[in-house]
Amino acid sequence: MPYSRHDAFIAPAQKHPELWRFAVGLVVLFAVYLGSFLAFGWLLQQGIGDEAAFRIMSAMGEGSPWAVLFFLATFVGMVLAAFAAALVHRRGPGTLFGPMPIVVSDFLQAGGLAIVVFLIASPVILVFVPTAQNMPLGTWAAFLPLALPLILLQTGAEELAFRGYLQQQLAARFARPAVWLVLPSAIFAAGHIDPTTQGNNWWAIAAITGLFGVIAADITARSGSIGAAWGLHFVNNVQAILLFSLPGPLDGLALRSVPVAQDSAALLPLLIVDAAALVLIWFAWRRLRRD
């Protein structure tokens, strides 16, 4: 498999690849992210008062627009957590990205390709289930200047943590691609499991999330930066959060809602279409780059 660019991507991680550092790095990653989330809540209380802060925090489970924005903003903590974990290995935070010119060009290329494929897939999704207006167009457009940068932050934070830190450090210790392709993707998928709301669909949602993780890891390894995975992730989440959203805590910013509960059997065809779109993007990206 043509992973020659991956060697340069993981080179900074190979300088101090000790497993004890990796174990400490994982603890730091979790602790800093959790601590930053708590700090966000405290700062919110100090800024707007206990009662208003409580209303926003309570609304996070109800999907109000401001609560979704607040949730997305908390991912600055994951960025800081990934940077802190890298420091455990005596690495600069910039080494998690790959070469910045490649990051930018790959982000635009993969993101543009994802837009084309999702434009093709969206009418197919509408065949299975009609959508309903979720918020007025003017109100939705007014939130875009805040929502788009925050989705860029959220997806970038996850790429730094999973395809940056985890993938790089695992690859620095284990030569087999199965380890650094699958393990971070499995952790990524596990973080999206919620049997309470997903019911018997939890396994399908975990499977498609894991599929996304493997595809993101593969294109990261082939390109030598997180740019392509970040671009794909960004466009995917813009579609899922801002355009067509399932009922749940992240539906507050969506232009249109998909009236299918996450535990409904009607969700499975949508997941199949989504999985097919991801595979098509992956295949087209490889053909475009001749990798």
Q: Read off the pLDDT of residues 121-147 as tens digits, 9 standing for 90 and up.
A: 877 777 777 888 999 999 999 999 999
* Residue 233 identity (one-letter amino acid): H
Q: What is the tens place of the pLDDT at every residue in 44-55?
A: 777 777 776 677
- Dist. CA 7–CA 171, nearest whole Å: 9
The pLDDT value recorded for residue 62 is 65
Strands (E), 243-284: 244-245, 256-257
Answer yes or no: are the C-beta atoms of 245 and 134 closer than 8 Å.
Answer: yes
Question: Cα 226 to chain center, whole Å?
Answer: 12
For the chain, the average pLDDT equals: 90
Average pLDDT over residues 89-107: 96
Please name the residues in contact with 282: beta carbons below 8 A apart, sequence gap of 6 or more.
215, 218, 219
pTM: 0.93
The pLDDT value recorded for residue 212 is 97
- Token couple for 203: 């396994």
SS3 of residue 247 by DSSP: coil
What letter does residue 200 receive in the DSSP assignment?
G
Answer yes or no: are the C-beta atoms of 36 and 76 closer than 8 Å.
Answer: yes
The pLDDT value recorded for residue 58 is 66
- Dist. CA 288–CA 265, nearest whole Å: 36
Q: In what order do the strands lie in the sheet with 244-245?
A: 132-133, 256-257, 244-245
What letter does residue 2 receive in the DSSP assignment?
-
The pLDDT value recorded for residue 99 is 95
